[in-house]
Chain A
Amino acid sequence: MAATHETVEQVRALAEQKYKYGFTTDIDAETAPKGLNEDIIRFISAKKEEPEWLLQWRLRAFEAWKTMQEPHWPKLDYGPIDYQDAYYYAAPKLKNKPKSLDEVDPELLRTYEKLGIPLKEQAILAGVEGTEGQAPAIAVDAVFDSVSVATTYKAKLEEMGIIFCAISEAVHKCPELVQKYLGSVVPYTDNFFATLNSAAFTDGSFVYIPKGVRCPMELSTYFRINQANTGQFERTLIIADEGSYVSYLEGCTAPQRDENQLHAAVVELVALDNATIKYSTVQNWYPGDANGVGGIYNFVTKRGACRGVNSKISWTQVETGSAITWKYPSCILQGDNSVGEFYSVAITNNRQQADTGTKMIHIGKNTRSTIVSKGISAGRAQQTYRGLVKILPRAEGARNHTQCDSLLIGDQCGAHTVPYIESRNRSARVEHEATTAKISEDQLFYCRQRGLSEEDAVSLIVNGFCKEVLKELPMEFAVEAQKLVGISLEGSVG
């Protein structure tokens, strides 16, 4: 049809996507020499003044990694990665580790201001000393390249026994917790990228919520890659003790560069009896330009263990960035009656590729999981939903519901759904629904007839398509995410 053809033409003539966060910060950095070897690992460990056990753990991971192969099963197409051609440690040069926000290099503070970490957060960042008494909404841990540069509200949270700090700091502050739980959900031999992370991780966030405590504010980490040729290997560990609750947000951006940069993070969550962890991500790493030059390679292992009875882990992700995304936030439902949730919006435009989904492993009785995945592809992007629902023999009465919807814009992009279901208990119920749709010419015209520009129309329609997932985000992030959905698809039509 003529009209469809025209849209295809428009898609072909894609304007370069405008990435707002593509600037670099001019700041003195200290870097280790390129490449990864035992010396570099010892260097990183020494920089962080780590205990011997952690150094040994890293070294064991490195030994394991040398024997491992990069996985080739994902539906991702990229050239070989030279792991020896990247820096594994880059840190802004700090005279002394800042004790409060006003000691942080103003250049760094300006960077976060420019990144527009939601305005409310900015007000909070700025108001740490000033606006005492005003109910804070979000505490932020800012990770810049390989180090955590600032954490807000630490003191306030500590009054309640909550520990929220850089993982490098937690190693000193509460070594027994770190030693007990680090690698307990994602072992250092887990997979190529997680093992690399275990050997080389530099920083990340640590959270511990004590028994019976409901964390009174959103905790948030903002990851920023600045330095060229630098990989970011952050490690996050969140432990929710019995009967506690925490909502945690993660945001990320990187400068616009022509070469690809590697990001291989590991996130481990542990929920004990009756505890709930809500983990939300808005991932907006630099996606590369319209021709697929540059962008972040995002290979991430995220896994949560519902160890206790009635525990709950909920993953919500909005993935709009990165040239390549490889990511399967998962739940191990070990405690009886535990609940796992995965709500995902993944948007790929231009030449972006994403192979993402989740794994729900039902071990305990009456465990329940819900998967809602919304994939949007535009331009020449390729996207795969890959999901595993596994019901073990003991998981009497387990239930899963999976809803997997794809939306295509134009006809040069692709969407693929690969659901694996393994059920070894007859009483389990597993439901899977999948749909694929296109944004119709009818819908676009209807919106434009009502005065909306083509881009606003696409954004509105796509936001509608993702609504089930977006409504799971904390309020502070929802508005931001809605805008991001629009921006990510700029140039996909018209």
Chain B
Amino acid sequence: MIEIRNLHATVDGKEILKGIDLTIGPGEVHAIMGPNGSGKSTLSYVLAGRDGYEVTKGSVSFYGEDLLAMEPEERAAAGLFLAFQYPVEIPGVANMTFLKSALNAMRKHRGEGDLDAMQFLKLVREKTRSLNMTDEMLKRAVNVGFSGGEKKRNETLQMAVLEPKFAILDETDSGLDIDALKIVADGVNALRSPERSMLVITHYQRLLNYIVPDHVHVLAHGRIQRSGGKELALELEQKGYKDFGVEEAA
């Protein structure tokens, strides 16, 4: 259970989140939609503990623990995963090496031993195949020279390997072609379980046809303005965000 209470956060002294309240139960999938610049990515960074995103008020409880008191890597080890809107390139570090370091770091936090090379290879091969990715992508440097869609797929692969308790997907659908969208959505759905919750940030109702959310929220001006079921996404698609005091783009 993730409980966000009256969360306020500033970036460079500017208040971006102005009192977010959100409770996500085990196994639930919540979608957040909202105009550009409304604070969606900011919320995901604050939850993941990024430097420079300062919480000025409020609290976040993560399965009973004070999430905000933890270092980013501790949050990751506790089971929080963020699929980045803009995945980062790490030149010279093979995707495979990165995945292995990440998985073993998590296992260490949890007091488990390293997976041996064979076990790891088996695990990764399985996940790669289910996401229709090639082994060649595992040998390449993390996200370097990946197309926009490949980067998003790579985020999904990491999630599948790390098996988090709570995954935040920040526009994982952006940049995916129609087939890729389906593959990634299938990958995400395969991870749905009664213990695993998700927060799916998207601009497109289309994704929610594949990953059907339990709740949809509208974030605007740093606050959740409205919450509803999956039909809210359809309504937004038709009406846009003008009801929330946001001008339609010219």
Would you give the 0/1 interface string for A432-449, flagging 1 where the beta carbon is closer than 8 Å to chain B?
A: 000000001111011111
Residues of B within 8 A of A475 (CB): none
For B, the interface residue count at a CB cutoff of 8 angstroms equals: 34
Other-chain residue from B71, B91, B158 in contact with A450 (beta carbon distance below 8 A): B158
Q: Known contacts A1-B12, A449-B82, A460-B101; is A465 also within 8 Å of B91 by CB?
A: yes
Q: Give complex CA distance A277, B50 in Å.
A: 48
Q: Give complex CA distance A6, B89 in Å.
A: 23
Is A114 in the interface zone, CB < 8 Å from B?
no
Least Cβ–Cβ distance between B70 and chain A, in angstroms: 11
Is the beta-carbon distance between A460 and B98 smaller than 8 angstroms?
Answer: yes
Residues of B within 8 A of A450 (CB): 76, 98, 101-102, 105, 158, 162
Is A3 in the interface zone, CB < 8 Å from B?
yes
Q: Known contacts A2-B12, A446-B84; is A451 also within 8 Å of B90 by CB?
A: no
Residues of A within 8 A of B101 (CB): 450, 452, 456, 460
Q: Which residue of the partner chain B has the closest CB to A453? A: B73
Other-chain residue from A445, A446, A453, A468 in contact with B105 (beta carbon distance below 8 A): A453
Is A162 in the interface zone, CB < 8 Å from B?
no
Is B150 in the interface zone, CB < 8 Å from A?
no
State the majority secondary structure of interface residues on A: helix
Is the beta-carbon distance between A456 and B51 smaller than 8 angstroms?
Answer: no
Q: Known contacts A2-B54, A449-B48, A451-B106; is A463 also within 8 Å of B76 by CB?
A: no
Residues of A within 8 A of B49 (CB): 448
Residues of B within 8 A of A441 (CB): 51-52
Is the beta-carbon distance between A464 and B93 smaller than 8 angstroms?
Answer: yes
Residues of A within 8 A of B48 (CB): 445, 449
Q: Give complex CA distance A446, B88 in Å.
A: 7
Find residues 56-91 in chain B having any chain A CB closer than 8 Å to their own CB. 71-73, 75-77, 81-82, 84, 87-91
B49, B51, B52, B109, most chain A CB atoms within 10 A: B51
Least Cβ–Cβ distance between B114 and chain A, in angstroms: 13
Q: Known contacts A450-B76, A451-B102, A460-B98; is A2 also within 8 Å of B52 by CB?
A: yes
Residues of B within 8 A of A460 (CB): 90, 93, 97-98, 101
Q: Known contacts A456-B101, A460-B101; is A448 also within 8 Å of B90 by CB?
A: no
Is B92 in the interface zone, CB < 8 Å from A?
yes
Would you give the 0/1 interface string for A1-43, flagging 1 where the beta carbon is closer than 8 Å to chain B?
A: 1110011000000000000000000000000000000000000
Is the beta-carbon distance between B88 and A442 smaller than 8 angstroms?
Answer: yes
Is A54 in the interface zone, CB < 8 Å from B?
no
Is A120 in the interface zone, CB < 8 Å from B?
no
Residues of B within 8 A of A445 (CB): 48, 50-51, 72, 88
Residues of A within 8 A of B52 (CB): 1-3, 6, 441
Is B141 in the interface zone, CB < 8 Å from A?
yes
Residues of A within 8 A of B90 (CB): 443, 446-447, 460-461, 464
Q: Which residue of the partner chain B has the closest CB to A2? A: B52
Residues of B within 8 A of A447 (CB): 90, 102
Q: Give complex CA distance A467, B97 in Å.
A: 12
Residues of B within 8 A of A451 (CB): 73, 76-77, 102-103, 105-106, 109, 162
Find residues 9-62 in chain B having any chain A CB closer than 8 Å to their own CB. 12, 48-52, 54
Q: Which residue of the partner chain B has the closest CB to A3? A: B52
Is the beta-carbon distance between A452 and B73 smaller than 8 angstroms?
Answer: yes
Q: Give complex CA distance A451, B78 in Å.
A: 9
Is A254 in the interface zone, CB < 8 Å from B?
no
Is the beta-carbon distance between B102 and A452 smaller than 8 angstroms?
Answer: yes
Least Cβ–Cβ distance between B63 and chain A, in angstroms: 17
Is A200 in the interface zone, CB < 8 Å from B?
no
Q: Which residue of the partner chain A has the closest CB to B51? A: A3
Is A389 in the interface zone, CB < 8 Å from B?
no
Is the beta-carbon distance between A464 and B76 smaller than 8 angstroms?
Answer: no
Q: Give complex CA distance A461, B88 in Å.
A: 12
Residues of B within 8 A of A454 (CB): 73
Is A466 in the interface zone, CB < 8 Å from B?
yes
Residues of A within 8 A of B72 (CB): 445, 448-449
Q: Which residue of the partner chain A has the closest CB to B11? A: A2
Least Cβ–Cβ distance between B170 and chain A, in angstroms: 11
Residues of A within 8 A of B82 (CB): 449
Give the interface of A toward B (CB within 8 A): 1-3, 6-7, 440-443, 445-454, 456, 460-461, 463-468
Give the interface of B toward A (CB within 8 A): 12, 48-52, 54, 71-73, 75-77, 81-82, 84, 87-93, 97-98, 101-103, 105-106, 109, 141, 158, 162
Ranked 5 nearest A-B pairs via Cβ = A464-B92, A3-B52, A464-B93, A467-B92, A450-B102
A-B contact pairs, 19 of them (CB 8 A): A3-B51, A6-B51, A441-B51, A443-B89, A445-B51, A445-B88, A449-B81, A449-B84, A450-B105, A450-B158, A451-B73, A451-B76, A451-B162, A456-B101, A460-B90, A460-B97, A461-B93, A463-B93, A467-B92
For the A-B complex with A6-B51, A448-B71, A449-B73 known, give 13 more contacts whose Cβ atoms are closer than 8 Å.
A2-B51, A6-B52, A448-B73, A449-B48, A449-B76, A449-B81, A450-B76, A450-B102, A451-B73, A453-B105, A460-B98, A464-B90, A467-B93
